[in-house]
Each structure stands twice: as structure tokens, then as C-alpha cells.
């Protein structure tokens, strides 16, 4: 049986398990839509006043997509790895032909598919609010690559966190500051000058800049996409090595 | 016979605690080998060393002629202790999932039928009873028809009927040539299934042999237990015998079945009234208790 067949078996089980967890489905598909309803539909701010949510809705497209691209892989892969550790599932899998790279590839594929579907729902919801932005083909690079990167980070979190609760707490503890400090919901000029270089350390900042350039403001997408793809490769490799396949 | 599993002076410690301390053993092709021992004796750690899911600190392990990491994983099956597979899959999907990881696997429905779960193919794993879940896990370990199968406490939480159904499955596997390495706390299970049994205590092998050999060497002698109408602290004076008083009653040791009448006659002659007699041969459990009942007192054979 080929490597692809093993990945398919693992991915099929993962996909089925996800669809049968209502909480996971809610937080992947509907929670981000709630954010759009609240901040793009209900909140009224004056453009140009210099505060939060004062840019046109299209400016925040990367921010809404980031809620899915960041939180879903971090929390899902993190808690899945922790659950596998607690249930001795890696012990079982390590005696099968499946490798840990194949395992992470299967879980990453499922997450990318779910995130792509959730992003499609978000984009439709944003269009429904009257936002005006371009549906750039670059989204087909930036969304999957960023998802892969955070799947790798999620695998690292799940490998070292203290159980499922610890993995979820750690992933939220990392995701919340990253979400708000990566040029997503908060414009860079709202940060103090000394802090702005710190934003460059966030992988999500390159995603936000790339998506914003591709869908709204124009500018250099290629460089940001290249950084995200490179980070995805590195994070996947590190995540693979971190998985506690054997004790 | 070709050895399929070989451990040579295997050591594994967690911090200052030696979980496995110089264990050497060999399991031949087609053999059923049972590892018994108290909780914390190192059984699961040894299974992990043998399957390559942990790396020993010292010594060497061979599985199917190779280091465990290099062994042909198409030919190995494992049921880990405390195994918790995904609970949102049906039993059929669960076994099918593991089948999909191998080049050649059995029909999941047929394997579920073998473990007595043919009616639960479409039941979510999480909705099965504890015993049924364990049987589904056994099915997942069997689905690739392994040449060597490691079962770490396979019948824990399984009811007596389910346990016997699993024993029949294991016996059929053994008859077909599958090598089985089994850990268990159930001495009846070890005695029924195993060709050889090793007792592990404090990470060391305290005794190895066939169940018959272990019983003969460590199980004591056949016993006739006499229940008197009233409890007594002193054994009755029965000429020709030296009974002892235990919690079971008055025990006459080393009495063969044909010698029971002789004891009864001697009790009558001595004027000893009794309410009941029971005779039994020593079992593997007697041998186990003699060896491991007081772990501190186990004389370890390095």
C-alpha cells in the first residue's frame, strides 16, 4: 500500500472524527462568522478617526481569515496530539507502517481543507456585509501555507503541553496575542514605534500583509507569500520531529 | 525454532527508578509467551522496549531478526495498555482505519466478528461498553494478520464470556502459527494460553517456564482442606498426618485424590467431626503468589 493510501486512511478517520464533534464544527465555521456579524455588521465607527475598526471592512479581510487560519490548526492539532499521547495512540501507530510525517501530513490536509471551507464561508459573509475586495488567486497559496505552518506549531504545542487542557490553553495563550499583534485587526501605526519591529517576528503578519496586498491595498504579495511558504516548510519539519511517536 | 523476540540484558530506567533491570528472554516462532507480575513490575515498559516504542538504556532487543525500529511493521501487531482510540468512529470504521495503514489487511467486519462484535459494526466506539471497547481494540491489533502479536493486558475489563471468546481467538491465532507475547494479571489466562510464562518482579525476571513447570516448582502440593464445625487454632491430632490450620480450614498437604479416603478414615479414627472436604491441585496462581506475593522476598535469578 502506498504512502498516499496510508495518509488517506489517517485523513479519513480524522475528518470523520472532526465532523462528529459539534463544538469543533461550531468554532471552525460559525464562531468567525459571529465576529464578522459583530464587527463588520453591527459596530459603527468613523473612517479615519484613527482607532480600532476605523478602516473599511475590506481592510480586515486578513484579520477575519486569520481567526480561522491561526486558531483552528493550533488548537485542533495541539489537542489532537495531546489526545493521542494520553490514549497511547502513538504507541500503537508507531508499530504500523504509518510514519509521523505521514500522520502530520494527514492531519494537516484535513485542517487545510476545513480552513479553506471556513474561509470560503467567511468571504461570502464579508461580501454580504458590502465589503469590496478582490478574490485573488494568491489566497489559494497564502491560506493553505499559513495553515500548514500553524499545524506544525500546533504539533509542537501538543507534544510538550500537559494534556489536552494544557494544549488548548497554550494554543490560545499563543494565538490571542499573535492575532492582535500581526497587522490584522490593529493597524501598525497604532503600535508604538519601538514595538513595530516585533510584529515582523510574527508569521501571521506576513499572511496579513500578503492577503491585504492581494485583496485590498495592492503591493508586494510575492515576498510575503514566499516567507509564509518557507515558514510552512520549517514548521512542518519541526512539528514532525516534535511528535512523540516513540517514548 | 526461530526466535522471533529476543531481549538480552535489557535495562530501562525512569529517573532513579529501574523499570526494567537486566531482562533476558527469547520467544520462539509460534510460541505464546505470557509475562505476569505485580503492578509496577515493568511489564508494559518491557513490551515498549520489545516493540521499539521506547529505547532501552542498555542491552539489546531483536524483533523478527532486526532491531525493533527496523523490524517489518507489516508483520507486527500491538494492543497497548490503556489504549484509547478515536471514540467518534464506529467499530467498523475504527478497525477499517487501522486496516488502511497496512499493505494487506483482513476484512474489518470479519475481524469484528472474530472478537464477537459483528452486531456492533455500526456502533460508535464511545457507545460500546468497556469490555466491548477492549474487544474492538483487540480487533484493531489483529487486522493485519500479524506474525507476532503483542497484547498488553488484552482482557482487562472484559466480562467472562467476552474473555473466553478472546481466548478462543488467541488460541486460533496460535494454532495458525502467530507468535503471541501477552501480559496479564489473570493467571487463568496465562495458564490456559501460554506455552511459557515469565514472572517479572521489580523489573527482573524472577522465574520462567511452562505453566506446568512453574506450578510444580513453586505452586506447592495438592491440598485437602477440612472444614470443622467450629473454628480452631490448633490442628487436630490425626495419627500419620501433620495438618496445618489456615484461614481456609485444616489443611492436609500433598494428598493425592486416591489418598482422600485414607485421610477421612484417619479423621474418623481420631474422632474428629468435619462439615466439608475440598481438594485441589496447585495452580499457576499459587505459584505466582508464592513467587510474587511478597515481592520484597522474591529471589531474583539474574
Instruction: Give the one of B79, B102, B140 whose C-beta lies nearest to A97's C-beta.
Output: B102
Task: Please report, for chain A, the start and end positions of each structural domain, with discontinuous segments joined by +.
Answer: 3-38+56-242
Distance of CA B285 to the CA centre of its chain: 10
Instruction: Give the one of A9, A16, A95 whose C-beta lies nearest to B88's C-beta.
Output: A16
In this structure, the answer to whether residues B169 and B269 fall within a common structural domain is no
Alpha-carbon distance of B153 to A142, in angstroms, equals 48
Supply the angle between the helices B211-218 and B284-292 in degrees, to the nearest 10.
60
Secondary structure class of A105 (helix, strand, coil): helix
In this structure, the answer to whether residues B260 and B177 fall within a common structural domain is no
More confident residue, B228 or A7: A7
pLDDT, tens only, B105-145: 999 999 999 999 999 999 999 999 999 999 999 999 999 99
In this structure, the answer to whether residues B249 and B114 fall within a common structural domain is no
In this structure, the answer to whether residues B13 and B157 fall within a common structural domain is yes
Is residue B290 in a domain? no
Alpha-carbon distance of A38 to A117, in angstroms, equals 21
Instruction: Give the one of B84, B97, B101 whose C-beta lies nearest to A87's C-beta.
Output: B84
Alpha-carbon distance of B300 to B302, in angstroms, equals 6
pLDDT, tens only, B71-98: 999 999 999 999 999 999 999 999 999 9
Quote the DSSP letter at residue A60: G
Residues of chain B with pLDDT under 70: 293-302
In this structure, the answer to whether residues B258 and B183 fall within a common structural domain is no
H helix or E strand, kind and range, residue A90: helix A89-93
Using a CB-CB cut-off of 8 Å, the residues of chain B touching A247 are 48, 53-55
In this structure, the answer to whether residues B55 and B204 fall within a common structural domain is yes
CATH assignment of the domain containing B132: 3.40.50.300
Secondary structure class of B69 (helix, strand, coil): helix
In this structure, the answer to whether residues B84 and B227 fall within a common structural domain is no
Asked if residue A200 lies in contact with residue A128, where contact means CB atoms within 8 angstroms, the answer is no
Mutate to test the interface with B, among A3, A16, A80, A91 (most CBs of B within 10 A): A91
pLDDT number for residue B128: 95
Is residue B289 in a domain? no
In this structure, the answer to whether residues B250 and B152 fall within a common structural domain is no
Is residue B105 in a domain? yes
Residue listed under C-alpha cell 480586515:
A60
Secondary structure class of B27 (helix, strand, coil): strand
**Burial of A67 per CB tally in 10 Å (0-12, 13-18, 19+):** buried
Domain that holds residue B11: 3-216
Q: Of B216, B235, B259, which residue sits at a domain end?
A: B216
pLDDT number for residue B249: 87
Is residue B302 in a domain? no
**Residue A39 binned pLDDT confidence (cut-offs 50, 70, 90):** confident
Residue listed under C-alpha cell 508569521:
A203
pLDDT, tens only, A46-78: 666 667 778 888 999 999 999 999 999 999 999
pLDDT number for residue A48: 64
Q: Phi and psi (nearest 5°) for B266?
A: -65, -40
Is residue B286 in a domain? no
pLDDT number for residue A114: 95
The whole-angstrom distance between A93's CA and the closest CA on chain B is 9
CB contact (8 A) between residue B55 and residue A97: no
In this structure, the answer to whether residues B204 and B177 fall within a common structural domain is yes
Q: Phi and psi (nearest 5°) for B202?
A: 55, 35
* Tally of domains within chain B: 2
The whole-angstrom distance between A110's CA and the closest CA on chain B is 15
pLDDT number for residue B296: 44
Which chain B residue is nearest to residue A102, measuring alpha carbons? B101
H helix or E strand, kind and range, residue B251: strand B250-253
Distance of CA B112 to the CA centre of its chain: 23
pLDDT score of A23 more than 90: no
Contacts of residue B226, defined as CB under 8 A and 6 or more positions apart, other chains included, come to B243, B249, B250, B251, B252, B263, B267, B272, B274, B276, B277
Cα–Cα nearest to B243, from B274, B213, B216, B219: B274
Secondary structure class of B116 (helix, strand, coil): coil
In this structure, the answer to whether residues B212 and B237 fall within a common structural domain is no
Using a CB-CB cut-off of 8 Å, the residues of chain A touching B79 are 92
User: What ipTM, to 2 d.p.?
Assistant: 0.91
Amino acid at each position: 500500500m502506498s504512502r498516499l493510501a496510508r495518509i488517506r486512511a489517517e485523513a479519513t478517520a480524522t475528518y470523520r472524527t472532526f465532523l462528529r464533534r459539534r463544538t469543533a464544527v461550531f468554532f471552525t465555521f460559525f464562531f468567525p462568522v459571529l465576529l464578522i456579524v459583530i464587527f463588520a455588521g453591527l459596530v459603527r465607527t468613523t473612517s479615519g478617526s484613527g482607532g480600532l475598526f476605523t478602516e473599511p471592512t475590506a481592510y480586515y479581510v486578513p484579520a477575519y481569515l486569520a481567526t480561522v487560519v491561526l486558531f483552528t490548526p493550533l488548537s485542533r492539532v495541539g489537542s489532537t496530539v495531546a489526545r493521542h499521547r494520553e490514549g497511547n495512540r502513538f504507541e500503537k501507530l508507531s508499530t504500523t507502517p504509518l510514519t509521523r510525517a505521514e500522520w502530520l501530513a494527514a492531519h494537516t490536509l484535513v485542517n487545510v481543507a476545513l480552513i479553506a471551507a471556513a474561509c470560503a464561508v467567511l468571504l461570502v459573509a464579508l461580501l454580504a456585509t458590502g465589503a469590496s475586495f478582490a478574490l485573488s488567486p494568491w489566497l489559494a497559496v497564502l491560506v493553505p501555507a499559513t495553515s500548514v505552518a500553524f499545524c506544525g506549531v500546533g504539533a509542537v504545542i501538543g507534544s510538550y503541553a500537559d494534556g489536552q487542557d494544557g494544549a488548548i490553553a497554550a494554543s490560545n495563550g499563543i494565538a490571542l496575542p499573535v492575532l492582535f499583534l500581526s497587522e490584522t485587526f490593529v493597524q501598525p501605526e497604532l503600535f508604538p514605534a519601538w514595538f513595530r519591529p516585533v510584529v515582523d517576528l510574527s508569521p501571521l503578519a506576513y499572511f496579513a500583509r500578503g492577503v491585504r496586498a492581494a485583496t485590498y491595498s495592492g503591493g508586494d504579495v510575492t515576498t510575503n507569500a514566499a516567507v509564509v511558504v518557507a515558514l510552512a516548510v520549517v514548521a512542518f519539519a519541526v512539528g514532525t520531529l516534535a511528535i512523540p511517536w516513540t517514548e | 525454532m526461530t526466535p522471533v523476540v529476543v531481549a538480552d540484558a535489557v535495562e530501562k530506567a525512569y529517573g532513579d527508578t529501574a523499570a526494567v533491570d537486566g531482562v533476558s528472554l527469547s520467544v520462539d516462532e509460534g510460541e505464546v509467551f505470557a509475562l505476569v507480575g505485580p503492578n509496577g513490575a515493568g511489564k508494559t515498559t518491557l513490551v515498549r522496549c520489545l516493540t521499539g516504542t521506547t529505547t532501552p538504556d542498555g542491552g539489546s532487543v531483536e524483533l523478527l531478526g532486526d532491531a525493533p525500529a527496523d523490524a517489518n511493521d507489516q508483520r507486527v501487531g500491538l494492543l497497548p495498555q490503556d489504549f484509547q482510540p478515536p471514540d467518534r468512529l464506529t467499530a467498523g470504521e475504527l478497525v477499517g482505519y487501522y486496516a488502511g495503514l497496512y499493505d494487506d489487511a483482513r476484512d474489518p467486519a470479519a475481524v469484528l466478528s472474530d472478537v464477537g462484535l459483528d452486531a456492533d459494526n455500526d456502533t460508535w466506539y464511545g457507545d460500546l461498553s468497556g469490555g466491548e471497547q477492549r474487544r474492538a481494540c483487540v480487533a484493531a491489533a489483529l487486522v493485519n494478520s500479524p506474525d507476532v502479536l503483542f497484547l498488553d493486558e488484552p482482557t482487562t475489563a472484559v466480562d467472562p464470556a467476552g474473555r473466553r471468546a478472546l481466548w478462543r481467538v488467541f488460541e486460533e491465532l496460535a494454532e495458525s502459527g502467530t507468535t503471541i507475547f501477552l501480559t496479564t494479571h489473570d493467571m487463568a489466562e496465562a495458564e490456559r494460553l501460554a506455552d511459557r510464562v515469565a514472572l517479572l518482579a521489580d523489573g527482573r525476571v524472577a522465574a520462567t517456564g511452562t505453566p506446568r513447570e512453574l506450578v510444580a516448582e513453586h505452586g506447592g502440593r495438592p491440598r485437602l482442606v477440612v472444614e470443622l464445625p467450629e473454628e480452631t487454632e490448633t490442628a487436630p491430632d490425626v495419627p500419620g498426618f501433620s495438618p496445618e490450620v489456615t484461614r481456609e480450614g485444616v489443611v492436609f498437604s500433598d494428598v493425592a485424590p486416591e489418598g482422600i479416603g485414607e485421610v477421612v478414615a484417619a479423621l474418623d479414627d481420631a474422632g474428629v467431626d468435619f462439615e466439608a472436604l475440598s481438594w485441589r491441585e496447585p495452580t499457576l496462581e499459587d505459584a505466582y503468589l508464592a513467587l510474587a506475593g511478597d515481592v520484597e522476598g522474591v529471589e531474583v535469578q539474574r
